[in-house]
Amino acid sequence: MTVTSDLLTPGRLRRVRALDWQDVDALSPELTALLEELAADGAWLGSALENLRHTPELRDLSERLAELDKLVLVNDADSGVRIRLHRFRQGYFDRPHNHRFTFGTRILRGGYRHTVYGDHIEITPDFDVSQVRPTLIRRESAGGGYVIGHTLVHSVAAEPETLTLTVRGPAQKDRMLIVDREQGTSWWQYGVQQEDPADVALRRLTDDQLTETERLLREQGLIPG
């Protein structure tokens, strides 16, 4: 189902559907400009959160993980694009991983330590975890952002209550790589379509959890009071 008509103006929807997810060079300036525009539009963000509260299709896609909330604000089935708000709660960090999709991010509040390990396009059964070594470590701060391709391996360690806006493209593969460098192991994680629906339901955001995030956004002046 496409859940966009009430949230994206025709002009924004055309821009979303025109994004070239196969060419990061061409994608980066267009996606960066769109993210900057959406992040600065507090009225739009507030409306998107209210729409999420009352839209079962978006609620089913949103989830609360151990220290991370993923709120799906827009799901455009025609293009495979989703716009998400991420709330990194207390103590969030992750292992090196790539993604099933290319995406762009804009930091709204807080920040994190961002470690890049390089591009790993083909992962074979004899993949050597020792190949995954940091090539860039930087701090990502409010007002900044980036666009990365789905083959890039990275990790983040976020400050409490960091908020980011993310626009992700259509899935370009059915699994992502996760690496545990300390244990010298790696494994695949698949999309939600291949998970047990009962497990997915346990991660579904509650009304109270949505209210927590809305309150945080209002306190930071990111949506109208």
pLDDT of residue 199: 67
User: With 80 as the cut, is the pLDDT of residue 52 above it?
Assistant: yes
**Domain segments of the chain as ranges:** 10-191
The segment with the largest mean pLDDT, out of 21-35, 129-143, 200-214, is: 21-35
Superfamily (CATH H level) for 10-191? Jelly Rolls (2.60.120.10)
What is the model's pLDDT at position 122? 67
- Which tokens sit at 205? 């955001």
For residue 125, the model assigns a pLDDT of 59
Q: What is the pTM for the complete model shown?
A: 0.92
pLDDT digits (tens, 9 = 90+) for 174-203: 888 888 888 888 888 887 766 667 766 778
Give yes or no for residue 5 having a pLDDT over 70: no
Lowest mean pLDDT across 3-7, 79-83, 123-127, 155-159: 3-7
Q: How far is CA 125 from the centre of its chain?
A: 28
The yes-or-no verdict on residue 30 having pLDDT over 50 is: yes
Q: For position 1, what pLDDT does the model report?
A: 45
Q: Is the pLDDT of residue 6 over 70?
A: no
Q: Which 8-state DSSP code applies to residue 97?
A: B
Percent of the chain having pLDDT more than 70?
91
- What confidence tens digit (pLDDT) does each residue in 124-177 have? 656 788 888 999 999 999 999 999 999 999 999 999 999 999 999 999 998 888
DSSP result, the chain: --B-TTTS-HHHHHHHHH--TT-HHHHHHHHHHHHHHHHH-HHHHHHHHHHHHT-HHHHHH-EE-SSEEEEEEEEETTTTEEEEEEEE-TT-B--SB--SS-EEEEEEESEEEEEEEEE-----TT--GGG---SEEEEEETT-EEEE-TTEEEEEEEPTTEEEEEEE---SSSEEEEEETTTTEEEEEE-GGGS-HHHHHHTPPPHHHHHHHHHHHHHTTSS--
